[in-house]
Structure 1
């Protein structure tokens, strides 16, 4: 039959909420996490669920999320572990929950995470790699002998700083937070950014000076998120229009290039990132498909959706708005028609075939389930 993607009759909620229910069915009551997922990926799953409630104007999952997050905090105080990026994925989740519920506890823990990670931001002159100052980057872990720095930790700290600057008057000053947001984002642009492709690369080893130029979707996706958050904080702070426009242009150019990058997007428009993990590209081995990289593409989709919301709310760049809408709607369509087993379970390849659904593949689908509510569903008819 054909389903019109309209809000009447509960559609697409009758598709998106069951996908969440399947994901949450794997919750572990003893620690608040999801069976089969690593710690940071659980945070991403809960972030997608919170965004689903926000963007669908529902509160179906708030109580469950609050309970799970409370259990996580009881087992992992303030959601902080030795991985700075892990801790910050949880801070982003907590900010989404704060914006959804206005529960100050979520904001307080996000601030605590910021204060913890800020101690691992590299100061000017401390490291110089190939003639470039590493100032502003965040150490990957809080281990005393850590030498790895990467764009995910930097992008997360930039976004966290900027969003806290918009949300709180306590703790660090709003102006100081905004300075950190720019400081860290500028490290990405100085050290890990391919200007002519608007592509963000992965990490650097400070001990050896070696660069690892992996170009995963979530590196660029998180940089888009950081640029959006910095733009929003600057606008709230009354920043000069020229500087504002720089960060908006940065986000939009990364988005346009991401949606047209052939190594990430199949010829039919499906976001697949075939070389990111085993089971696609040159390695067809499906036995290893249940890995963190299955969810990388979801971070890109999430931040494309955030960019759409910014553009729509400020009536900017309507051409890109339309492109993002079409892009998100197509991912939703592909999941429904080519990557669902009929039991609300989704496999790792958004272009299909369904293959074996796992907690990782279900997690990745949740950002699509949230995004479809943000972009709207009018005027489309998808067979199912």
Structure 2
């Protein structure tokens, strides 16, 4: 597809995502949950406790899963305590994040800005759960560093980004590239993607909400606009990435749950920070599109992304991010009962599938460790 053809195809996307049906599909498998809160807390705790023996306390890593997914186990532990109003995992979370920060400068041993922000996000969740100022300081430090790889309005106009050694595309498909975040900090890497930009949007919004500093609000808004203008498909699904040098897109088949999940999480916070109706509307309609997308689930509603019969994989972590984003949207949507019911029903589909189909022919995560990992980050308290 030529750039012009792609732009023409993209033009209707923003209007199409504004008319989503919030009804619960009757074909979804078991979209309700009768378990009491105490039982759900117990199940979630058991899942986390299954993973904890894999923790290397010297560096904050969990055996069997990748660097970024280790950060998300800490996120799930901090969010468990946040949602359960407890401090069960406080020591493990704070000590683990601190160990990782000391071991891996800037939370980035492999040269990826999204890796750094997965860990910074875990640090923010830890701050939210425990009020530990060191966790907030770590979050701000990583946000500040990654901010060096955001395309500013001035960068887009000049066609140059201070930390890149190539001419950047100021616009792609008729839209400014301002707000996009480079995936890697290396001077020659051209990739800008939705997950890195979505992480930055979300972290900026949380920091704006926490500190009241308009610098964070402006950063969150600009990056949210980049995704809004360039990265939404005609069906309301968040696309993956685009070259900051020549606007080349990643493969059309690269559609992953976590791109939509992280973006709607960021929008849910940004709408509260700004009070802007556009973010609330966009959040609602992208959420509805994502939970009904045939890209990653069948008519029964069960997410199939990341299924493997032999090992853990990134896709298992992707859908965990999606569920976490949906939870944040639900918590912040008390004025939209239809949206809350849709999310509650969808999450119950995933929750019941994990309880009843995991590690058998129903697949879900397929192997026990993958299932336990996903379970730990999908804390269904709703």
Bin for the TM-score computed over the shorter chain: 0.7 to 0.9
In structure 1, the partner of 2:350 is 331
Q: CA deviation at 1:331?
A: 1.5
In structure 1, the partner of 2:320 is 298
Q: Any gaps of 5 or more consecutive residues in structure 2? A: 1-32, 160-168
Q: For the residues of structure 1 that align with 2:304 and 2:77, how far apart are their CA atoms?
A: 21
In structure 2, the partner of 1:257 is 289
Q: For the residues of structure 2 that align with 1:336 and 1:357, how far apart are their CA atoms?
A: 12
Alignment pair present for 1:205 and 2:243: yes
Q: Does the 8 Å contact 1:295/1:361 carry over to 2?
A: no
Q: Does the 8 Å contact 1:80/1:113 carry over to 2?
A: no
Q: For the residues of structure 1 that align with 2:364 and 2:206, how far apart are their CA atoms?
A: 38
SS at match of 1:25: helix
Q: For the residues of structure 1 that align with 2:286 and 2:365, how far apart are their CA atoms?
A: 30
Alignment pair present for 1:217 and 2:239: no
In structure 2, the partner of 1:118 is 147
In structure 2, the partner of 1:89 is 118
In structure 1, the partner of 2:337 is 318
Q: For the residues of structure 1 that align with 2:86 and 2:175, how far apart are their CA atoms?
A: 48
Alignment pair present for 1:187 and 2:226: yes
SS at match of 2:333: helix
Q: Does the 8 Å contact 1:124/1:136 carry over to 2?
A: no
In structure 2, the partner of 1:73 is 101
Q: CA deviation at 1:131?
A: 4.4
Alignment pair present for 1:307 and 2:329: yes
Q: Any gaps of 5 or more consecutive residues in structure 1? A: 236-243, 280-285, 342-348, 376-384
- 5 Å matches for 1:1-384? 4-7=34-37, 10-81=38-109, 82-122=111-151, 123-125=155-157, 126=159, 127-128=169-170, 129-168=172-211, 174-194=213-233, 196-212=234-250, 213=252, 214-235=254-275, 244-273=276-305, 277=306, 279=308, 286-287=309-310, 289-312=311-334, 316-339=335-358, 351-352=362-363, 355-358=366-369, 360-368=370-378, 370=379, 372-373=380-381, 375=382
Q: For the residues of structure 2 that align with 1:57 and 1:69, how far apart are their CA atoms?
A: 20
Q: CA deviation at 1:278?
A: 6.7
Q: For the residues of structure 1 that align with 2:302 and 2:366, how far apart are their CA atoms?
A: 17
Q: For the residues of structure 1 that align with 2:59 and 2:365, how far apart are their CA atoms?
A: 30
Task: Name the count of aligned residue pairs.
Answer: 333
Q: For the residues of structure 2 that align with 1:202 and 1:361, how far apart are their CA atoms?
A: 25
Q: For the residues of structure 2 that align with 1:41 and 1:219, how far apart are their CA atoms?
A: 15
Q: CA deviation at 1:35?
A: 0.7
SS at match of 1:69: helix
Q: For the residues of structure 2 that align with 1:262 and 1:121, how far apart are their CA atoms?
A: 32
Q: For the residues of structure 2 that align with 1:11 and 1:294, how far apart are their CA atoms?
A: 24
Q: For the residues of structure 2 that align with 1:13 and 1:189, how far apart are their CA atoms?
A: 36
Q: CA deviation at 1:78?
A: 4.3
Q: CA deviation at 1:226?
A: 1.6
Name the TM-score, length of structure 1 as normaliser: 0.81
Residues 148 and 338 (structure 1 numbering): CA distance in 2 closer, same or farther, change over 3 Å?
same
